[in-house]
A and B are shown apart, each in its own frame.
Chain A
């Protein structure tokens, strides 16, 4: 077998193992919290007898390990369990929420990743001159301001004063793609501003590191223009670190958008999670936790695999 296929399979297996560990950790942590689902359901009206009855009914008296494997078995079959508060099937409610969150993350990534890499290249091309300093200053400023503040400022000035875009990012299935994009424009801008600096600075640093190499000097001595040197010779060798940080930021776009979703009242996973945390709806929290963990681990695994594929020594062994 080609060694690279072996390595990719190793990474996949490792990712699954990691996900298994994460699920155990999430389950264990919610177990460790004071109170349980029975208490949460009964709330104020909990009498010791009622609690005992409900626990018996929900199977909460059985050992934690048994319940964990039952829960895990359900997840593997696509059954995320039932919400405590509204008795709805979690998989169904999460489905539309997740696709909304992914929709937002996707468009934020489409805007921010190429922009960050382009700005990184530009910063290298004009390093230590004013374009570099300007790019650094602006992106650092936007990452330093809390995203809810940027969100509210944009809502006020762009949506309310200028009348561009919708202040509320409500979307539903009956909208056309154009309407949806118009509706999510502001959250996309906010998310882009948050993730841009990180990716752009990593691109700049990774390429500058490569710019010290002898093969960059060779390229310069071929009479190539500065941008050709950076784009053709430096960038291909800086792919691995850039992909890593891009994937970290993509993961953030999916699992870290809670605040932005709340600001724009966007019907995504973040809103859903926050609602059910306040209601102590443990099965929903567990389900969301596992989905977030899966996305996080999946994206980082992709970063690992891309880094392996980007290495010509591994791709073309002797």
Chain B
């Protein structure tokens, strides 16, 4: 067997942590991981947040983010241990032999410099190419990655291209110096599903064309199954399972891997509409101050008591704007909203305390939706005081009840948000909204920032609570798997319009309109070759047209 390009042996990585109220101390976050990567092959590193996958990826460039330090083991790249090599050799390695594609290209491109300058910088700096050669190569890569106007796009600034285009530019940046290995760190996670497919295909073809090896890091097993030869499943810094892609997907040995493969298998029976909707949105047209176009056009939807209406669409479709209109933060230009049998004031100022209490909201970013200096008890207790005038032991009893309902329990009452995990924070936000005893909760992408298994837990909890409290959800999401799991009816939004609306069974059954079809077929599926099938199918269809 040929010598592997990247050989990692018993890699141990540590970090300094600063827990509140305690002395800073060092902990180990990766506990002895080993793997090989042959030239031209792709290894998928998969796991939830905190699994150590990005940390391991960066270790292959001898880099530790923040206070992260590599504390033990060996990392061999091109026949030498880069943990023992010189400082100048590491600089030759980074950007020359190994390059990096980050999750957020928008943040990873310098806003003050043109794209071309940044794409060719490493190649020129490492003396792999002259500036002229590097630019020619970059233009070639832009074309290969399917970017529009490849000859001139480099002259633009990062904010002048879209998120999906920028992610492709980042891939070009990584491939430009002809590296031996590219570390892809969640390169499509921040993109819309329909954009994700194109970027994924572009990356896959670029890997195949250039013969470069890759570490592909993601939390989405369905995505990694499309691009990698081997997969390593990681959990809390340990290897759970390591094998070829076919075996991991079709014959997972470990319980944890099986859970990942079968994630999002929630079954939810669709409920029938009732005669009297709790929320009725009629003919809403809205625009933001200072712009001269509407972001919502004549939106009509109903939500029935104790049921879930999923509003699904990509970024920019207007789904969050609809939530702002319903909450009264953005008074619409036209149309009206009926809630619990009464007409709601368009403006937040005109709403009664009862209106406010019965219509609650949960947000995507649980950690910024809570005051970091208040305990869980104070956070949940606030609506109890405000709406029900509860004090003392009565309030405490109710807080504990709510904590039990969200499956956290009394011991969390004195904790601060910083001491909670992402899923626990979102649970506290759910309890806070339930404390007001609302008729309806707007859930704005509440699971998007969470790991799949944690998100699954949150969805199950929301369904459970819906049964107990008889609360209706307006569930805003871009994720169709979530929609399938939780909704009774669905509104598909595209460019400010509802393009498809009805009971779940009807919306998700053919015949589809073009946009819903595109959206549905873009959701990655957990089988090998899915990506090629979809792309081939689309090519055929566009040829047919």
A312-B159, A316-B157, A318-B160 in contact; A218/B126 too (CB < 8 A)?
no
Interface residues of A in 284-318 (CB under 8 A from B): 310, 312-313, 316, 318
B186 to chain A, nearest CB (A): 12
> Which residue of B61, B92, B112, B157 has the most chain A CB atoms within 10 A of its CB atom?
B112
B91 touches A236 (CB 8 A): no
B63 touches A223 (CB 8 A): no
Report how far A74 CA is from B10 CA in the complex, Å: 83
Residues of B within 8 A of A213 (CB): 107
Fill in one digit per residue for A215-243: 1 if any B CB lies within 8 Å of its CB, else 0. 10111111111001000010011000000
A214-B104, A214-B108 in contact; A222/B113 too (CB < 8 A)?
no
B111 touches A223 (CB 8 A): no
Report how far A313 CA is from B106 CA in the complex, Å: 13
B94 located at the interface, meaning its Cβ lies under 8 Å from any Cβ of chain A in the complex: yes
B63 touches A236 (CB 8 A): no
Q: Which of B25-33, B40-48, B95-103 contacts the other chain? A: B95-103
Residues of A within 8 A of B111 (CB): 215, 237, 312-313
A219, A221, A225: which contacts B110 (Cβ < 8 A)? A219
Report how far A161 CA is from B468 CA in the complex, Å: 90
Residues of A within 8 A of B122 (CB): 222-223
B159 touches A223 (CB 8 A): no
A223-B126, A312-B159 in contact; A237/B112 too (CB < 8 A)?
yes
Residues of B within 8 A of A223 (CB): 90-96, 122, 125-126
A222 touches B95 (CB 8 A): yes
A312-B157, A313-B159 in contact; A214/B63 too (CB < 8 A)?
no
Q: How large is the interface on A (under 10, 10 to 19, 20 to 34, 35 or more residues)?
A: 20 to 34
Interface residues of B in 300-351 (CB under 8 A from A): none
B294 located at the interface, meaning its Cβ lies under 8 Å from any Cβ of chain A in the complex: no
Residues of A within 8 A of B100 (CB): 218, 221
Interface residues of A in 202-222 (CB under 8 A from B): 213-215, 217-222
B108 touches A217 (CB 8 A): yes
Total A-B Cβ pairs within 8 A = 74
B114 to chain A, nearest CB (A): 9
B122 to chain A, nearest CB (A): 4
Report how far A220 CA is from B98 CA in the complex, Å: 12
Residues of A within 8 A of B125 (CB): 222-224, 228
Report how far A228 CA is from B95 CA in the complex, Å: 14
Fill in one digit per residue for A11-32: 1 if any B CB lies within 8 Å of its CB, else 0. 0000000000000000000000
Residues of B within 8 A of A224 (CB): 91, 95, 121, 125
B96 touches A236 (CB 8 A): no
Report how far A52 CA is from B92 CA in the complex, Å: 87
B124 to chain A, nearest CB (A): 10
A312-B157, A312-B159, A316-B160 in contact; A220/B94 too (CB < 8 A)?
yes
Report how far A224 CA is from B99 CA in the complex, Å: 12
A222 touches B108 (CB 8 A): no
B99 touches A221 (CB 8 A): yes
B65 located at the interface, meaning its Cβ lies under 8 Å from any Cβ of chain A in the complex: yes
Residues of B within 8 A of A237 (CB): 110-112
Closest to B107 in A: A214
Fill in one digit per residue for A179-215: 1 if any B CB lies within 8 Å of its CB, else 0. 0000000000000000000000000000000000111
Interface residues of B in 122-138 (CB under 8 A from A): 122, 125-126
Closest to A219 in B: B110
Report how far A221 CA is from B125 CA in the complex, Å: 12
Residues of A within 8 A of B95 (CB): 221-224
B109 located at the interface, meaning its Cβ lies under 8 Å from any Cβ of chain A in the complex: yes
Report how far A236 CA is from B112 CA in the complex, Å: 6
Report how far A222 CA is from B5 CA in the complex, Å: 19
B91 touches A215 (CB 8 A): no
B102, B156, B173: which contacts A214 (Cβ < 8 A)? B102
Closest to A317 in B: B160
Closest to A221 in B: B100
Please give 11 more A-B residue pairs, beta carbons under 8 A apart, in addition to A219-B110, A221-B95: A214-B108, A217-B102, A219-B121, A222-B122, A223-B95, A233-B110, A237-B111, A312-B111, A312-B112, A313-B157, A316-B160
> Which B residues fall within an 8 A CB radius of A?
61, 63, 65, 90-96, 99-100, 102, 104, 107-113, 118, 121-122, 125-126, 156-157, 159-160, 173
Pull 24 A–B residue pairs with CB atoms less than 8 Å apart, ordered by A. Answer: A214-B104, A215-B108, A217-B65, A217-B108, A218-B108, A218-B109, A218-B118, A218-B173, A219-B110, A220-B63, A221-B61, A221-B94, A221-B100, A222-B95, A222-B122, A222-B125, A223-B90, A223-B95, A233-B113, A236-B110, A312-B157, A313-B111, A316-B156, A316-B160
> Which A residues fall within an 8 A CB radius of B?
213-215, 217-225, 228, 233, 236-237, 310, 312-313, 316, 318
